[in-house]
Amino acid sequence: MTVSLREQVPLPGRSRVTGNRGAVTAMTAGAARAGGGILAAGGNAADAAVAAMLAAGVVEPAMNGLGGTAYAVVFEPGRGRVTALDGSARCPEGAQEDMFEPLEGVGGGLYGFPPTRGDHAETGALSVLAPTAPATLVELHRRFGRLPFAAVVEPALRLAEEGFVPDWVFCVHVAAGYRRLRLSPAAFALYTRGDGLPFVPGGEEDRLRNPELAGSLRVLAQEGPEPFYRGPIARRLLDTVNEAGGILSEDDFEAAAVREVPPLDFGFRDLTVATLPDNSGGPTLAAALAHLDAFPPAGPAAGDVADEVRHLHLVAESLRLAFRDRFAYLGDSESVPVPLPGLLDPDYLRERRRGVSQDGPRLDVPNEPPPPGTAGDAGAPRSGAPTSDCTTQVNAVDADGMAVSLTGTLGGRFGSAFAVPGLGYPLNNGMMWFDPRPGRRISPAPGRRALHAAAPAILLRDGTPWAVVGSPGGRRLISAVVMGIARLVDRGASIQDAVGGPGFHADVGPLTLDERTPDCGRVARGLAARGHEVLVRRETALSGHFGRASGIRISDAAGGMRFEPGVDPVRGGTGVAVEAD
Protein backbone atom coordinates (compact mmCIF):
# COMPACT_ATOMS: atom_id res chain seq x y z
CA MET A 1 0.00 0.00 0.00
CA THR A 2 1.29 3.43 -0.95
CA VAL A 3 0.42 6.32 1.36
CA SER A 4 0.77 9.95 0.25
CA LEU A 5 0.07 13.36 1.78
CA ARG A 6 -2.00 15.89 -0.13
CA GLU A 7 -1.39 19.41 1.13
CA GLN A 8 -3.52 22.48 0.62
CA VAL A 9 -1.57 25.37 -0.83
CA PRO A 10 -1.63 28.02 1.94
CA LEU A 11 -2.83 30.85 -0.26
CA PRO A 12 -6.18 32.59 -0.82
CA GLY A 13 -8.17 30.76 -3.47
CA ARG A 14 -6.47 27.51 -2.50
CA SER A 15 -7.46 24.26 -4.14
CA ARG A 16 -9.45 21.69 -2.18
CA VAL A 17 -7.83 18.38 -1.26
CA THR A 18 -9.31 15.16 0.10
CA GLY A 19 -7.96 11.84 1.32
CA ASN A 20 -9.30 8.42 2.22
CA ARG A 21 -7.17 7.76 5.35
CA GLY A 22 -7.80 10.94 7.31
CA ALA A 23 -6.81 14.57 7.50
CA VAL A 24 -5.07 17.07 9.78
CA THR A 25 -5.28 20.85 9.96
CA ALA A 26 -2.93 23.23 11.73
CA MET A 27 -2.09 26.91 11.63
CA THR A 28 1.35 26.26 10.07
CA ALA A 29 2.63 23.91 7.39
CA GLY A 30 5.26 22.40 9.71
CA ALA A 31 2.69 21.37 12.30
CA ALA A 32 0.22 20.02 9.71
CA ARG A 33 2.95 17.96 8.04
CA ALA A 34 3.99 16.54 11.42
CA GLY A 35 0.43 15.38 12.10
CA GLY A 36 -0.11 14.12 8.57
CA GLY A 37 3.13 12.16 8.67
CA ILE A 38 2.06 10.44 11.88
CA LEU A 39 -1.27 9.46 10.26
CA ALA A 40 0.58 8.11 7.24
CA ALA A 41 2.85 6.08 9.54
CA GLY A 42 -0.12 4.26 11.07
CA GLY A 43 -0.99 6.58 13.91
CA ASN A 44 -4.55 7.52 14.73
CA ALA A 45 -6.17 10.94 15.08
CA ALA A 46 -5.03 11.35 18.70
CA ASP A 47 -1.42 10.60 17.74
CA ALA A 48 -1.63 13.05 14.84
CA ALA A 49 -3.22 15.84 16.91
CA VAL A 50 -0.59 15.59 19.66
CA ALA A 51 2.26 15.45 17.11
CA ALA A 52 0.90 18.51 15.30
CA MET A 53 0.43 20.49 18.52
CA LEU A 54 3.92 19.69 19.77
CA ALA A 55 5.37 20.69 16.38
CA ALA A 56 3.34 23.91 16.52
CA GLY A 57 5.13 24.72 19.77
CA VAL A 58 8.39 24.67 17.79
CA VAL A 59 7.39 26.54 14.62
CA GLU A 60 4.61 28.68 16.10
CA PRO A 61 5.95 29.58 19.57
CA ALA A 62 4.12 32.90 19.75
CA MET A 63 0.87 30.97 19.98
CA ASN A 64 1.38 27.86 22.11
CA GLY A 65 3.87 25.46 23.59
CA LEU A 66 4.87 23.51 26.68
CA GLY A 67 4.50 26.67 28.75
CA GLY A 68 0.82 27.04 27.90
CA THR A 69 -2.53 25.31 28.24
CA ALA A 70 -4.49 22.90 26.04
CA TYR A 71 -8.06 21.65 25.68
CA ALA A 72 -9.51 18.81 23.58
CA VAL A 73 -12.66 16.99 22.58
CA VAL A 74 -12.23 13.44 21.26
CA PHE A 75 -14.68 11.04 19.61
CA GLU A 76 -13.88 7.36 20.24
CA PRO A 77 -15.29 5.21 17.44
CA GLY A 78 -15.22 1.98 19.45
CA ARG A 79 -17.25 3.43 22.29
CA GLY A 80 -19.27 5.90 20.23
CA ARG A 81 -18.76 8.70 22.72
CA VAL A 82 -17.09 12.08 23.09
CA THR A 83 -14.59 12.82 25.86
CA ALA A 84 -13.54 16.34 26.86
CA LEU A 85 -10.12 17.07 28.37
CA ASP A 86 -9.91 20.38 30.20
CA GLY A 87 -6.48 21.88 30.74
CA SER A 88 -7.73 25.08 32.37
CA ALA A 89 -5.07 27.07 34.19
CA ARG A 90 -5.58 28.15 37.78
CA CYS A 91 -4.62 31.26 39.68
CA PRO A 92 -1.71 30.68 42.08
CA GLU A 93 -2.65 30.00 45.69
CA GLY A 94 -0.93 33.27 46.52
CA ALA A 95 -3.18 35.31 44.19
CA GLN A 96 -5.32 38.16 45.54
CA GLU A 97 -8.14 40.00 43.78
CA ASP A 98 -6.35 43.33 44.21
CA MET A 99 -2.90 42.11 43.16
CA PHE A 100 -2.93 44.29 40.03
CA GLU A 101 -3.71 47.96 39.59
CA PRO A 102 -6.19 48.31 36.70
CA LEU A 103 -5.76 51.35 34.49
CA GLU A 104 -9.34 52.39 33.87
CA GLY A 105 -10.02 54.51 30.82
CA VAL A 106 -6.86 53.44 29.02
CA GLY A 107 -8.55 50.90 26.75
CA GLY A 108 -9.51 47.26 26.88
CA GLY A 109 -7.13 44.41 26.21
CA LEU A 110 -7.86 41.17 24.35
CA TYR A 111 -10.74 40.26 26.67
CA GLY A 112 -12.01 43.79 27.26
CA PHE A 113 -10.46 44.14 30.72
CA PRO A 114 -8.49 47.27 31.55
CA PRO A 115 -4.72 46.91 31.30
CA THR A 116 -2.66 46.86 34.46
CA ARG A 117 0.00 49.22 35.75
CA GLY A 118 3.40 48.01 34.67
CA ASP A 119 1.71 45.52 32.35
CA HIS A 120 2.15 43.02 35.18
CA ALA A 121 -0.93 40.90 34.35
CA GLU A 122 0.19 40.56 30.74
CA THR A 123 4.00 40.51 30.74
CA GLY A 124 6.64 39.00 32.98
CA ALA A 125 6.84 36.54 35.84
CA LEU A 126 3.81 37.72 37.82
CA SER A 127 1.52 36.92 34.86
CA VAL A 128 2.56 33.24 34.74
CA LEU A 129 0.27 30.38 35.77
CA ALA A 130 1.35 26.75 36.13
CA PRO A 131 1.23 25.30 32.56
CA THR A 132 -1.13 22.45 31.75
CA ALA A 133 -0.11 21.67 28.15
CA PRO A 134 2.40 18.90 28.98
CA ALA A 135 -0.13 17.07 31.16
CA THR A 136 -2.96 17.51 28.66
CA LEU A 137 -1.05 16.33 25.60
CA VAL A 138 0.40 13.31 27.39
CA GLU A 139 -3.02 12.38 28.76
CA LEU A 140 -4.62 12.77 25.33
CA HIS A 141 -2.09 10.34 23.90
CA ARG A 142 -2.24 7.95 26.87
CA ARG A 143 -6.01 7.67 26.68
CA PHE A 144 -6.48 7.54 22.93
CA GLY A 145 -3.17 7.18 21.06
CA ARG A 146 -1.90 4.14 19.18
CA LEU A 147 1.80 4.69 18.46
CA PRO A 148 4.52 4.86 21.14
CA PHE A 149 4.64 8.35 22.62
CA ALA A 150 8.27 8.80 21.61
CA ALA A 151 7.25 8.34 17.96
CA VAL A 152 4.60 11.03 18.34
CA VAL A 153 7.09 13.51 19.85
CA GLU A 154 9.74 12.76 17.19
CA PRO A 155 8.54 15.25 14.49
CA ALA A 156 8.64 18.16 16.94
CA LEU A 157 11.96 17.01 18.38
CA ARG A 158 13.46 16.83 14.90
CA LEU A 159 12.20 20.33 14.05
CA ALA A 160 13.75 21.72 17.23
CA GLU A 161 17.09 19.97 16.70
CA GLU A 162 17.51 20.42 12.95
CA GLY A 163 15.74 23.76 12.83
CA PHE A 164 13.35 25.31 10.37
CA VAL A 165 13.37 28.31 8.09
CA PRO A 166 11.05 30.93 9.63
CA ASP A 167 8.28 32.17 7.37
CA TRP A 168 7.10 35.74 7.19
CA VAL A 169 4.27 35.16 9.70
CA PHE A 170 6.77 33.92 12.28
CA CYS A 171 9.04 36.89 11.68
CA VAL A 172 6.20 39.39 11.90
CA HIS A 173 5.17 38.00 15.28
CA VAL A 174 8.73 38.17 16.58
CA ALA A 175 8.93 41.79 15.42
CA ALA A 176 5.61 42.59 17.09
CA GLY A 177 6.76 40.95 20.32
CA TYR A 178 10.31 42.33 20.17
CA ARG A 179 9.92 44.92 22.94
CA ARG A 180 8.37 42.46 25.40
CA LEU A 181 10.81 39.66 24.55
CA ARG A 182 13.75 41.94 25.32
CA LEU A 183 12.61 42.05 28.95
CA SER A 184 13.54 38.36 29.30
CA PRO A 185 17.05 37.59 28.00
CA ALA A 186 16.25 33.87 27.85
CA ALA A 187 13.14 34.45 25.72
CA PHE A 188 14.85 37.06 23.54
CA ALA A 189 17.71 34.69 22.73
CA LEU A 190 15.32 31.96 21.56
CA TYR A 191 13.75 33.96 18.73
CA THR A 192 16.46 36.37 17.59
CA ARG A 193 19.83 35.82 15.97
CA GLY A 194 23.09 35.99 17.87
CA ASP A 195 23.41 39.68 17.01
CA GLY A 196 20.01 40.38 18.55
CA LEU A 197 18.33 41.07 15.20
CA PRO A 198 15.14 39.27 14.08
CA PHE A 199 15.29 36.37 11.67
CA VAL A 200 14.69 37.05 7.97
CA PRO A 201 11.78 35.11 6.45
CA GLY A 202 12.70 32.41 3.99
CA GLY A 203 16.47 32.65 4.38
CA GLU A 204 18.21 29.29 4.76
CA GLU A 205 21.05 31.05 6.56
CA ASP A 206 18.50 32.08 9.19
CA ARG A 207 17.45 28.51 10.08
CA LEU A 208 16.18 28.59 13.64
CA ARG A 209 17.38 25.77 15.88
CA ASN A 210 16.26 25.34 19.47
CA PRO A 211 18.38 22.69 21.23
CA GLU A 212 16.98 23.73 24.62
CA LEU A 213 13.45 22.93 23.50
CA ALA A 214 14.71 19.69 21.97
CA GLY A 215 16.00 18.77 25.41
CA SER A 216 12.63 19.49 27.05
CA LEU A 217 10.81 17.47 24.37
CA ARG A 218 13.21 14.59 24.91
CA VAL A 219 12.40 14.59 28.63
CA LEU A 220 8.69 14.64 27.81
CA ALA A 221 9.07 11.71 25.40
CA GLN A 222 11.09 9.61 27.84
CA GLU A 223 9.60 10.49 31.22
CA GLY A 224 6.16 11.93 30.51
CA PRO A 225 4.80 15.00 32.32
CA GLU A 226 6.13 14.19 35.81
CA PRO A 227 9.36 16.26 35.55
CA PHE A 228 7.31 19.27 34.43
CA TYR A 229 5.22 19.24 37.62
CA ARG A 230 7.23 17.60 40.39
CA GLY A 231 10.70 17.08 38.97
CA PRO A 232 13.73 19.16 38.04
CA ILE A 233 12.02 21.13 35.27
CA ALA A 234 9.26 22.20 37.67
CA ARG A 235 11.84 23.17 40.31
CA ARG A 236 13.86 25.24 37.85
CA LEU A 237 10.71 26.92 36.56
CA LEU A 238 9.44 27.74 40.05
CA ASP A 239 12.76 29.17 41.22
CA THR A 240 13.31 31.28 38.12
CA VAL A 241 9.76 32.66 37.94
CA ASN A 242 9.64 33.53 41.63
CA GLU A 243 13.09 35.13 41.63
CA ALA A 244 11.74 37.41 38.89
CA GLY A 245 8.65 38.41 40.90
CA GLY A 246 6.22 35.52 40.35
CA ILE A 247 4.15 33.83 43.06
CA LEU A 248 3.98 30.19 41.97
CA SER A 249 4.23 27.34 44.49
CA GLU A 250 4.65 23.58 44.46
CA ASP A 251 0.95 23.31 45.31
CA ASP A 252 0.11 25.26 42.16
CA PHE A 253 1.94 22.67 40.08
CA GLU A 254 0.18 19.84 41.90
CA ALA A 255 -3.16 21.48 40.98
CA ALA A 256 -2.22 21.90 37.31
CA ALA A 257 -3.47 18.46 36.25
CA VAL A 258 -5.72 17.97 33.23
CA ARG A 259 -9.31 16.98 34.04
CA GLU A 260 -11.67 14.73 32.13
CA VAL A 261 -15.02 16.51 32.12
CA PRO A 262 -18.40 15.59 30.63
CA PRO A 263 -18.64 17.27 27.23
CA LEU A 264 -21.31 19.84 26.60
CA ASP A 265 -23.47 18.42 23.81
CA PHE A 266 -26.49 20.03 22.23
CA GLY A 267 -28.54 19.90 19.06
CA PHE A 268 -28.22 22.17 16.06
CA ARG A 269 -30.53 21.36 13.15
CA ASP A 270 -30.16 17.58 12.65
CA LEU A 271 -26.70 17.43 14.23
CA THR A 272 -25.31 17.01 17.72
CA VAL A 273 -22.49 19.38 18.62
CA ALA A 274 -20.03 18.34 21.35
CA THR A 275 -17.67 20.87 22.91
CA LEU A 276 -16.18 21.95 26.25
CA PRO A 277 -18.42 22.76 29.23
CA ASP A 278 -18.27 25.15 32.16
CA ASN A 279 -15.52 27.82 32.14
CA SER A 280 -14.81 27.70 28.38
CA GLY A 281 -16.23 29.11 25.17
CA GLY A 282 -18.49 26.05 24.90
CA PRO A 283 -21.57 27.39 26.75
CA THR A 284 -21.48 30.59 24.69
CA LEU A 285 -21.20 28.56 21.48
CA ALA A 286 -24.14 26.40 22.61
CA ALA A 287 -26.34 29.40 23.48
CA ALA A 288 -25.60 31.21 20.22
CA LEU A 289 -26.39 28.14 18.11
CA ALA A 290 -29.54 27.47 20.16
CA HIS A 291 -30.79 30.96 19.34
CA LEU A 292 -29.91 30.53 15.67
CA ASP A 293 -31.60 27.11 15.62
CA ALA A 294 -34.91 28.76 16.49
CA PHE A 295 -35.02 30.39 13.05
CA PRO A 296 -35.30 28.69 9.64
CA PRO A 297 -31.98 27.80 7.99
CA ALA A 298 -30.68 30.53 5.72
CA GLY A 299 -30.15 28.14 2.81
CA PRO A 300 -27.41 28.29 0.17
CA ALA A 301 -25.89 31.69 -0.41
CA ALA A 302 -27.11 33.07 -3.72
CA GLY A 303 -25.26 36.38 -3.82
CA ASP A 304 -28.36 38.33 -2.74
CA VAL A 305 -27.45 41.23 -0.44
CA ALA A 306 -30.79 41.27 1.40
CA ASP A 307 -30.48 37.55 2.09
CA GLU A 308 -26.95 37.97 3.44
CA VAL A 309 -28.04 40.87 5.64
CA ARG A 310 -30.86 38.76 7.12
CA HIS A 311 -28.45 35.89 7.79
CA LEU A 312 -25.74 38.02 9.39
CA HIS A 313 -28.33 39.93 11.41
CA LEU A 314 -29.60 36.70 12.99
CA VAL A 315 -26.08 35.42 13.64
CA ALA A 316 -25.15 38.74 15.26
CA GLU A 317 -28.26 38.79 17.46
CA SER A 318 -27.65 35.19 18.52
CA LEU A 319 -24.06 35.97 19.44
CA ARG A 320 -24.94 39.16 21.30
CA LEU A 321 -27.49 37.35 23.46
CA ALA A 322 -25.01 34.57 24.22
CA PHE A 323 -22.18 36.97 25.04
CA ARG A 324 -24.39 39.03 27.36
CA ASP A 325 -25.01 35.92 29.42
CA ARG A 326 -21.36 34.88 29.20
CA PHE A 327 -20.17 38.14 30.71
CA ALA A 328 -22.81 38.17 33.41
CA TYR A 329 -22.90 34.57 34.59
CA LEU A 330 -19.98 32.36 33.48
CA GLY A 331 -16.85 31.64 35.49
CA ASP A 332 -15.22 28.90 37.53
CA SER A 333 -18.07 26.85 38.99
CA GLU A 334 -15.76 25.70 41.78
CA SER A 335 -15.49 29.25 43.12
CA VAL A 336 -18.69 31.05 42.05
CA PRO A 337 -22.23 29.82 41.28
CA VAL A 338 -22.63 29.25 37.54
CA PRO A 339 -26.25 28.59 36.48
CA LEU A 340 -25.28 26.66 33.36
CA PRO A 341 -28.46 24.55 33.15
CA GLY A 342 -30.52 27.71 33.51
CA LEU A 343 -28.52 29.55 30.85
CA LEU A 344 -29.21 26.78 28.32
CA ASP A 345 -32.80 26.07 29.43
CA PRO A 346 -35.06 26.22 26.33
CA ASP A 347 -37.68 28.36 28.08
CA TYR A 348 -35.05 30.83 29.25
CA LEU A 349 -33.49 31.03 25.80
CA ARG A 350 -36.90 31.52 24.21
CA GLU A 351 -37.64 34.42 26.54
CA ARG A 352 -34.17 35.85 26.00
CA ARG A 353 -34.62 36.19 22.24
CA ARG A 354 -38.16 37.53 22.42
CA GLY A 355 -38.31 40.39 19.95
CA VAL A 356 -35.59 39.07 17.64
CA SER A 357 -36.74 38.48 14.06
CA GLN A 358 -34.97 37.97 10.79
CA ASP A 359 -36.60 41.05 9.30
CA GLY A 360 -36.72 43.22 12.41
CA PRO A 361 -34.28 45.77 13.81
CA ARG A 362 -31.41 45.05 16.17
CA LEU A 363 -32.74 44.09 19.59
CA ASP A 364 -31.87 46.30 22.54
CA VAL A 365 -30.61 43.36 24.63
CA PRO A 366 -31.42 43.67 28.34
CA ASN A 367 -29.48 42.00 31.13
CA GLU A 368 -32.71 40.48 32.42
CA PRO A 369 -34.34 38.06 32.90
CA PRO A 370 -31.66 36.25 34.89
CA PRO A 371 -31.50 32.48 34.56
CA PRO A 372 -32.40 30.32 37.55
CA GLY A 373 -29.44 30.00 39.89
CA THR A 374 -27.68 33.27 40.66
CA ALA A 375 -27.30 36.94 39.96
CA GLY A 376 -24.45 37.97 37.69
CA ASP A 377 -21.98 40.78 37.46
CA ALA A 378 -23.30 44.22 36.71
CA GLY A 379 -22.51 45.21 33.16
CA ALA A 380 -20.08 43.58 30.76
CA PRO A 381 -16.53 44.23 29.64
CA ARG A 382 -15.98 46.26 26.56
CA SER A 383 -15.36 44.51 23.31
CA GLY A 384 -11.77 43.27 23.38
CA ALA A 385 -9.08 45.11 21.47
CA PRO A 386 -8.19 43.66 18.07
CA THR A 387 -4.96 41.70 18.26
CA SER A 388 -3.45 38.81 16.40
CA ASP A 389 -4.67 35.54 17.82
CA CYS A 390 -2.34 34.05 20.40
CA THR A 391 -3.69 30.54 20.29
CA THR A 392 -3.41 27.68 17.84
CA GLN A 393 -5.85 25.02 16.65
CA VAL A 394 -5.31 21.46 15.46
CA ASN A 395 -7.97 19.12 14.06
CA ALA A 396 -7.46 15.48 13.14
CA VAL A 397 -9.69 12.66 11.85
CA ASP A 398 -8.68 9.13 10.88
CA ALA A 399 -10.15 6.35 8.75
CA ASP A 400 -11.35 4.42 11.82
CA GLY A 401 -13.64 7.30 12.75
CA MET A 402 -11.68 8.90 15.60
CA ALA A 403 -11.97 12.69 15.60
CA VAL A 404 -10.00 15.22 17.68
CA SER A 405 -10.37 18.98 18.01
CA LEU A 406 -7.49 20.40 20.06
CA THR A 407 -6.81 23.99 21.12
CA GLY A 408 -3.53 25.21 22.63
CA THR A 409 -2.62 28.67 23.87
CA LEU A 410 -0.08 30.79 25.72
CA GLY A 411 -2.65 33.54 26.39
CA GLY A 412 -1.02 36.50 24.63
CA ARG A 413 1.62 36.66 21.91
CA PHE A 414 4.59 34.73 23.33
CA GLY A 415 2.53 34.50 26.51
CA SER A 416 4.32 36.33 29.31
CA ALA A 417 7.34 36.83 27.00
CA PHE A 418 9.27 35.25 29.88
CA ALA A 419 11.37 32.10 29.52
CA VAL A 420 13.38 29.95 31.90
CA PRO A 421 17.00 29.53 30.76
CA GLY A 422 17.60 26.04 29.43
CA LEU A 423 13.98 25.01 28.82
CA GLY A 424 13.56 26.49 25.34
CA TYR A 425 10.01 27.86 25.48
CA PRO A 426 8.11 30.92 26.76
CA LEU A 427 5.62 30.67 29.61
CA ASN A 428 1.98 31.68 29.47
CA ASN A 429 0.55 34.95 30.75
CA GLY A 430 -2.63 33.32 32.08
CA MET A 431 -3.33 36.16 34.54
CA MET A 432 -4.64 38.09 31.52
CA TRP A 433 -7.71 35.81 31.61
CA PHE A 434 -8.77 37.31 34.94
CA ASP A 435 -10.45 40.68 35.44
CA PRO A 436 -7.95 42.84 37.37
CA ARG A 437 -10.79 44.78 38.99
CA PRO A 438 -11.60 43.38 42.46
CA GLY A 439 -15.01 41.95 43.24
CA ARG A 440 -15.77 40.46 39.83
CA ARG A 441 -16.79 36.87 39.15
CA ILE A 442 -13.51 36.32 37.36
CA SER A 443 -11.19 38.50 39.43
CA PRO A 444 -7.99 36.78 40.60
CA ALA A 445 -8.55 34.42 43.53
CA PRO A 446 -6.51 31.54 44.99
CA GLY A 447 -6.92 28.42 42.84
CA ARG A 448 -9.60 29.94 40.61
CA ARG A 449 -9.76 28.51 37.10
CA ALA A 450 -9.62 30.92 34.20
CA LEU A 451 -12.68 31.65 32.08
CA HIS A 452 -11.18 30.97 28.67
CA ALA A 453 -12.73 31.08 25.21
CA ALA A 454 -11.62 27.76 23.68
CA ALA A 455 -14.50 25.96 21.93
CA PRO A 456 -13.14 22.97 19.98
CA ALA A 457 -16.16 21.17 18.54
CA ILE A 458 -17.12 17.85 16.97
CA LEU A 459 -20.31 17.72 14.89
CA LEU A 460 -22.06 14.35 14.88
CA ARG A 461 -24.78 13.06 12.62
CA ASP A 462 -26.49 9.81 13.62
CA GLY A 463 -23.85 9.26 16.27
CA THR A 464 -20.76 9.49 14.05
CA PRO A 465 -18.48 12.47 13.26
CA TRP A 466 -19.65 14.63 10.38
CA ALA A 467 -17.16 17.48 10.88
CA VAL A 468 -14.70 18.93 13.40
CA VAL A 469 -14.23 22.67 13.85
CA GLY A 470 -12.13 24.91 16.09
CA SER A 471 -10.46 28.29 16.12
CA PRO A 472 -7.97 30.57 17.85
CA GLY A 473 -8.69 34.25 18.39
CA GLY A 474 -9.59 35.14 22.00
CA ARG A 475 -13.31 35.48 22.44
CA ARG A 476 -13.58 36.23 18.73
CA LEU A 477 -13.00 32.54 18.13
CA ILE A 478 -16.55 31.83 19.35
CA SER A 479 -17.97 33.94 16.52
CA ALA A 480 -15.66 32.17 14.06
CA VAL A 481 -16.85 28.71 15.15
CA VAL A 482 -20.52 29.79 15.10
CA MET A 483 -20.14 31.25 11.63
CA GLY A 484 -18.20 28.23 10.36
CA ILE A 485 -20.91 25.84 11.59
CA ALA A 486 -23.71 28.06 10.24
CA ARG A 487 -22.13 28.21 6.78
CA LEU A 488 -21.39 24.50 6.77
CA VAL A 489 -24.81 23.37 7.95
CA ASP A 490 -27.24 26.08 6.86
CA ARG A 491 -25.50 27.43 3.79
CA GLY A 492 -24.27 24.07 2.51
CA ALA A 493 -20.78 25.47 2.05
CA SER A 494 -17.68 23.36 1.61
CA ILE A 495 -15.52 23.13 4.71
CA GLN A 496 -12.98 25.48 3.12
CA ASP A 497 -15.61 28.10 2.31
CA ALA A 498 -17.23 27.62 5.71
CA VAL A 499 -14.16 28.21 7.87
CA GLY A 500 -12.07 30.18 5.38
CA GLY A 501 -14.76 32.62 4.27
CA PRO A 502 -14.92 36.30 5.27
CA GLY A 503 -14.48 36.96 8.98
CA PHE A 504 -17.34 38.04 11.21
CA HIS A 505 -17.60 38.93 14.88
CA ALA A 506 -20.32 40.21 17.19
CA ASP A 507 -20.50 40.43 20.97
CA VAL A 508 -21.74 43.31 23.15
CA GLY A 509 -19.92 45.93 21.10
CA PRO A 510 -19.93 46.86 17.43
CA LEU A 511 -20.43 44.21 14.77
CA THR A 512 -17.17 43.66 12.84
CA LEU A 513 -17.40 42.79 9.16
CA ASP A 514 -14.57 41.54 6.96
CA GLU A 515 -13.95 43.66 3.89
CA ARG A 516 -13.70 40.37 1.95
CA THR A 517 -17.48 40.03 2.38
CA PRO A 518 -19.10 40.10 -1.09
CA ASP A 519 -20.80 43.47 -1.68
CA CYS A 520 -19.33 44.49 1.65
CA GLY A 521 -20.43 48.12 1.47
CA ARG A 522 -24.06 47.27 0.72
CA VAL A 523 -24.12 44.53 3.37
CA ALA A 524 -22.67 46.93 5.95
CA ARG A 525 -25.29 49.56 5.10
CA GLY A 526 -28.03 46.95 5.34
CA LEU A 527 -26.88 45.90 8.80
CA ALA A 528 -26.55 49.53 9.88
CA ALA A 529 -30.12 50.14 8.73
CA ARG A 530 -31.20 47.45 11.22
CA GLY A 531 -29.49 49.31 14.04
CA HIS A 532 -26.11 47.55 14.15
CA GLU A 533 -22.96 49.59 14.65
CA VAL A 534 -20.77 48.14 11.91
CA LEU A 535 -16.99 48.23 11.65
CA VAL A 536 -15.50 47.08 8.34
CA ARG A 537 -11.99 45.77 8.77
CA ARG A 538 -9.22 44.26 6.66
CA GLU A 539 -7.73 41.13 8.20
CA THR A 540 -3.97 40.53 8.06
CA ALA A 541 -1.63 38.04 9.67
CA LEU A 542 -1.12 40.46 12.55
CA SER A 543 -4.44 42.24 13.04
CA GLY A 544 -6.75 39.60 14.56
CA HIS A 545 -10.11 41.30 14.04
CA PHE A 546 -11.63 37.83 13.64
CA GLY A 547 -11.10 34.26 14.78
CA ARG A 548 -9.34 31.94 12.34
CA ALA A 549 -11.42 28.80 12.16
CA SER A 550 -10.32 25.51 10.63
CA GLY A 551 -11.97 22.14 10.30
CA ILE A 552 -12.35 18.79 8.58
CA ARG A 553 -15.45 17.52 6.82
CA ILE A 554 -16.13 13.77 6.66
CA SER A 555 -18.31 12.49 3.83
CA ASP A 556 -19.38 9.25 2.17
CA ALA A 557 -18.18 8.75 -1.38
CA ALA A 558 -17.80 5.98 -3.91
CA GLY A 559 -15.12 3.71 -2.55
CA GLY A 560 -15.45 4.80 1.08
CA MET A 561 -15.04 7.81 3.34
CA ARG A 562 -13.42 11.05 2.23
CA PHE A 563 -11.78 13.59 4.52
CA GLU A 564 -11.51 17.21 3.45
CA PRO A 565 -9.60 19.86 5.44
CA GLY A 566 -10.42 23.56 5.47
CA VAL A 567 -8.19 26.30 6.88
CA ASP A 568 -7.74 30.02 7.35
CA PRO A 569 -6.51 31.62 4.10
CA VAL A 570 -5.11 34.80 5.66
CA ARG A 571 -2.36 33.57 7.95
CA GLY A 572 -1.29 30.49 6.00
CA GLY A 573 -3.07 27.69 7.83
CA THR A 574 -2.46 24.30 6.24
CA GLY A 575 -4.52 21.18 5.74
CA VAL A 576 -3.08 17.76 4.94
CA ALA A 577 -5.19 14.88 3.63
CA VAL A 578 -3.82 11.33 3.72
CA GLU A 579 -4.46 9.09 0.70
CA ALA A 580 -3.74 5.36 0.48
CA ASP A 581 -3.73 3.47 -2.84
In the predicted structure, residue 115 carries a pLDDT above the cut 70: yes
Per-residue pLDDT tens digits for 318-339: 999 999 999 999 999 999 999 9
* Least confidently predicted of 157-166, 191-200, 364-373, 457-466: 364-373
Can you give the pLDDT at residue 360?
87
Structural domain includes residue 256: yes
Structural domain includes residue 519: yes
Structural domain includes residue 269: no
SS3 564: strand
- Taking the C-alpha atoms of residue 378 and residue 367, their distance in angstroms, rounded to an integer, is 9
Instruction: Name the residue range of residue 401's domain.
Output: 19-260+384-580
pLDDT-based confidence at 379, cuts 50/70/90?
A: very low
In the predicted structure, residue 288 carries a pLDDT above the cut 80: yes
In the predicted structure, residue 125 carries a pLDDT above the cut 60: yes
Average pLDDT over residues 250-275: 96
* Least confidently predicted of 234-243, 532-541, 554-563: 554-563
Structural domain includes residue 329: no
Average pLDDT over residues 241-245: 97
**Which residues contact residue 53 at a Cβ distance below 8 angstroms, ignoring those fewer than 6 apart?**
31, 64, 70, 137, 392, 394, 406, 408
Comparison of pLDDT for 434 and 369, the residue scoring more? 434
pLDDT-based confidence at 199, cuts 50/70/90?
A: confident
pLDDT-based confidence at 383, cuts 50/70/90?
A: low
Q: Which of 397, 489, 405 lies closest to 455, judged by CA?
A: 405
Q: How many structural domains is the chain composed of?
A: 1
Q: Which of 163, 195, 191 lies closest to 175, judged by CA?
A: 191
Residue 385's identity, in one-letter code, is A
In the predicted structure, residue 309 carries a pLDDT above the cut 60: yes
- Taking the C-alpha atoms of residue 437 and residue 496, their distance in angstroms, rounded to an integer, is 41
- Taking the C-alpha atoms of residue 232 and residue 242, their distance in angstroms, rounded to an integer, is 15
Average pLDDT over residues 386-407: 88
C-alpha count within 13 angstroms, C-beta hemisphere, residue 394: 37
Structural domain includes residue 159: yes
Can you give the pLDDT at residue 367?
52
Can you give the pLDDT at residue 11?
61
CATH code (residue 130): 3.60.20.40
Can you give the pLDDT at residue 331?
94
Structural domain includes residue 504: yes
C-alpha count within 13 angstroms, C-beta hemisphere, residue 34: 32
Can you give the pLDDT at residue 544?
85
In the predicted structure, residue 466 carries a pLDDT above the cut 50: yes
Average pLDDT over residues 453-475: 96
Per-residue pLDDT tens digits for 146-194: 999 999 999 999 999 999 999 888 888 898 899 999 999 999 999 988 7
- Taking the C-alpha atoms of residue 122 and residue 346, their distance in angstroms, rounded to an integer, is 38
Average pLDDT, the chain: 91
In the predicted structure, residue 382 carries a pLDDT above the cut 70: no
* Least confidently predicted of 40-54, 280-294, 369-383: 369-383
In the predicted structure, residue 305 carries a pLDDT above the cut 70: yes
Can you give the pLDDT at residue 516?
94
Can you give the pLDDT at residue 8?
82
In the predicted structure, residue 137 carries a pLDDT above the cut 90: yes
pLDDT-based confidence at 197, cuts 50/70/90?
A: confident
- Taking the C-alpha atoms of residue 306 and residue 292, their distance in angstroms, rounded to an integer, is 18
Percentage of the chain with pLDDT > 90?
79
Dihedral sign for Cα atoms in the order 221, 223, 229, 233: negative
Q: Which of 344, 282, 272 lies closest to 86, judged by CA?
A: 282
Structural domain includes residue 341: no
Average pLDDT over residues 280-302: 95
- Taking the C-alpha atoms of residue 498 and residue 568, their distance in angstroms, rounded to an integer, is 10
Structural domain includes residue 537: yes
Average pLDDT over residues 204-213: 88
